[in-house]
Structure 1
Amino acid sequence: MEQLNVAVIGGGQSGLAAAYALRSRGLTPVVLEASDQTAGSWPCYYDSLTLFSPARYSSLPGLPFGGDGDRYPRRDEVVEYLLRYADHLDADIRTGHRVRQVRSADHGFALTLENGSELAARGVIAATGGFGYPNLPTLPGLDTYTGQLLHVKDYRSPEAFTAQRVVVVGAGNSAIQVATELASRASVTLASRAPVKWFKQRPLGGRDLHFWLRITGLDIAPLGRFMPDPPTMAVIDDGRYRGALDSGRPERRSLFTAIEGAKVTWEDGVSESIDAIILATGYRPDLEYLAPLGALDEDGCPRHRDGTSLTHPGLGFVGLEWQRSLSSASLRGVGRDADRVARRLTKHLART
């Protein structure tokens, strides 16, 4: 069985940041990525996805994003950046290596891969992030709906919904972006339990919001430990999205109260046929491979403090929402968390 120093599970932004931090501390990580490229979930997002943070605030440690620092990069730019970062990173990255199970073993951990082979590692960093599994909420009658039902992870572009009646469920950035884009080709309702909350993209003096988050320290404040259930983030808007909702394209309604067949019933009792429902309801961590360790709680969430496991000192996490701060799951913040986790893991390995 091959013996590794540290196994990093996941080769997206979180895994790459973890590998950089470990190598900076003299360790030799091996990155195990399930897919055939080191871009994480980014290639799977919808075509028009655009970052809300400017390029100057959207880099991993050691390699600037490049280009105009004030632009807001699109999905394909982020994919290209991550592939470039992986090439730039002097680390052993193995694509097509899906980890199915991690168990405790003498002097560390045993990892079983999808092909049945096994690896041993003194330390493990779970860097599959918080966007592995779509969160599918329990909504009235949703399991009986006979129209097209999909999570936003399976949405790509509005053309397939031309002239249809569509409901987008959610109140976050992705829900607003997708609903507004669809409204140019379809009749769209944005449905959510609570009204949409807004942040101005440039609140003061023309500076981007992320400038103010950085200089005030709010972006790195260690608030994650006080947020076991991360809230829906306010929508960062330059005026386009709020204007679209104000004009009724898309319209916004409270969540439907019932579904029967393809018909949705709204709070006012009115029912109508809906061609498609798109759930923009977030994601859950992809960490089932850690279940044999007992490192997860009853909901499948990691037992950790600031990314260090509370059950196994040789196990760390990188890329979770609110792992430590507001920016933990973002390009701009994951490097800080990775460095903290790598520092603690290095100390643990030195002791053992």
Structure 2
Amino acid sequence: MSASPEPVIIVGGGQSGLAAARAALSARLRPVVLEAGEESVGSWPDYYDSLTLFSPARYSALPGRAFDEGDPDRYPTRGEVVSYLRRYARHLDADVRTGVGVTAVRQRRGGGYLVHTRAGDEIAAAGVVAASGSFGNPHLPELPGRVEYTGEVRHVARYRRPEPYAGKRVVVVGAGNSAVQVAHELAPLARVTLATRAPVRFVPQRIRGRDLHHWLHVTGADRLPRPVLTRLIRHAAVLDTGVYRDAIASGLLPRRDMFTAFTPDGVRWPDGTSEPVDAVIFATGYRPNLGYLATLGALAPDGTPRQISGVSTTHPGLVYLGLEFQRSFSSNTLRGVGRDAAYVVAAMAEGLRGAGLGPWLRRRRPVRR
């Protein structure tokens, strides 16, 4: 066996990857983070310009480092999150390699994995953390007539700002936070309709003068396990101070039942009427971005990972981070991913020890805070 400890490879250097690296250091593993982008900030620079966190700064930090100075009850902007992640990566005592895209992961005889990169490199690893998130795999539903439609079709992942849509007829599809926020900011400049399969449901942003996340924290609701969540949460809901609800109720932001098909120049509504539309923006979510695991056999036919609470059920030493509702309501958020990282990395470390891979564990090194 090699005298040099082999690393745990973390695929993805955004919030999930950075949380995984810190957890790996605490577990006496040697993490190497491979991030396809030029910075270890994940997808945050690519979100729409007006995006702010839904949770206040005091509840939006990764383990070991507070968000930053300033009003802890503010809702940080996209740019603030990017700056925070830059600082977090800079102070993390881990090997973070940017500009390194992973193309495949394969099992190695005798245990462990070989991680293949876009540059043609092959890196031996004791274990793998799939922390690549889902932003790179936006979901666009298949609808009749889409190929013939001559207008613009865009997922909200590729939307940036409202000005290019000034004076245009736009349909925004979706009933979640992003759909409602984007439709609302488009409404003053464009003729917008929000298309949903059911009426939009709202959750108050503030309860008894405190942000909702205060109550999620003090009641422990943020940590409710997935089986409980799936019974309690049946539909998407929009965090709202009342602005969005009023906009829909007043007709400032019209809502219609989801259109049934595209036409060459627009959409067809459920009542059979057709309407010319310049652009359709889908805010219809994302799917796990795990194509590099396809040849490993770790994924179900629909591309979702075979896992329980983020631990692979098919391959020892393989874990996941950043999946929606992976272990709790906050699993794929800044405020919650650290708890999941500690859990899956501890499971990985125990598995490596149980497999007799003790020499692949390193001496504990202090985690910079």
In the superposition, the TM-score normalised over structure 1's length comes to: 0.96
Matched to 2:112, the amino acid is G
In the superposition, the TM-score normalised over structure 2's length comes to: 0.92
Q: In structure 2, what is the equivalent of residue 141 of structure 1?
A: 145
Cα 1:181–1:226 shift into 2, 3 Å: closer
Aligned counterparts of 1:154 and 1:54: Cα–Cα separation in 2: 25
Q: In structure 2, what is the equivalent of residue 196 of structure 1?
A: 200
Quick check: 1:146–1:262 contact (8 Å CA) kept in 2?
yes
The counterpart of 2:39, out of the listed 37, 40, 53, is 37
The counterpart of 1:72, out of the listed 68, 75, 96, is 75
Aligned counterparts of 2:77 and 2:6: Cα–Cα separation in 1: 36
> How big is the shift at 1:344?
0.7
Q: Which deviates more from structure 2 when the two are superposed, residues 208-217 or residues 317-326? A: 208-217
**Runs of 5+ unmatched residues, structure 2:** 356-369
Matched to 1:183, the amino acid is A
Matched to 1:156, the amino acid is R
**Runs of 5+ unmatched residues, structure 1:** none
> How big is the shift at 1:192?
0.9
Cα 1:149–1:196 shift into 2, 3 Å: same
* Partner-residue secondary structure (3-state), 2:147: helix
Q: Write the deviation string for residues 213-254 of structure 1: whole angstroms up to 9, x where unpaired.
A: 1122211111159759x9653100011111111222221000
Quick check: 1:225–1:306 contact (8 Å CA) kept in 2?
no
Give the number of aligned pairs: 350
Aligned counterparts of 1:232 and 1:127: Cα–Cα separation in 2: 26
Root mean square deviation of aligned Cα: 1.7
> How big is the shift at 1:212?
1.0
Q: In structure 2, what is the equivalent of residue 284 of structure 1?
A: 287
Which structure 1 residue ranges, 4+ long, deviate > 3 Å from structure 2? Answer: 1-4, 224-228
Q: In structure 2, what is the equivalent of residue 129 of structure 1?
A: 133
Q: Write the deviation string for residues 262-299 of structure 1: whole angstroms up to 9, x where unpaired.
A: 12121222221100000110101100101111111010
Cα 1:338–1:202 shift into 2, 3 Å: same
The counterpart of 2:6, out of the listed 4, 7, 10, is 4
Matched to 1:134, the amino acid is P
* Partner-residue secondary structure (3-state), 1:81: helix
The counterpart of 2:158, out of the listed 154, 161, 165, is 154
Quick check: 2:143–2:262 contact (8 Å CA) kept in 1?
no
> How big is the shift at 1:82?
0.6
Aligned counterparts of 1:245 and 1:221: Cα–Cα separation in 2: 31
Query: Superposed, which structure 2 residues align to 1:49-128 within 5 Å?
Result: 49-66=51-68, 67-106=70-109, 107-128=111-132
Matched to 1:186, the amino acid is A
Quick check: 1:257–1:267 contact (8 Å CA) kept in 2?
yes
Matched to 1:167, the amino acid is V
Aligned counterparts of 1:82 and 1:75: Cα–Cα separation in 2: 11
* Partner-residue secondary structure (3-state), 1:134: coil
Aligned counterparts of 2:331 and 2:134: Cα–Cα separation in 1: 10
Matched to 2:62, the amino acid is L
Cα 1:162–1:226 shift into 2, 3 Å: closer
Q: Alignment identity in percent?
A: 57
Q: In structure 2, what is the equivalent of residue 170 of structure 1?
A: 174
Aligned counterparts of 2:85 and 2:252: Cα–Cα separation in 1: 34
Quick check: 2:263–2:274 contact (8 Å CA) kept in 1?
no
Quick check: 1:198–1:235 contact (8 Å CA) kept in 2?
yes
* Partner-residue secondary structure (3-state), 2:89: helix
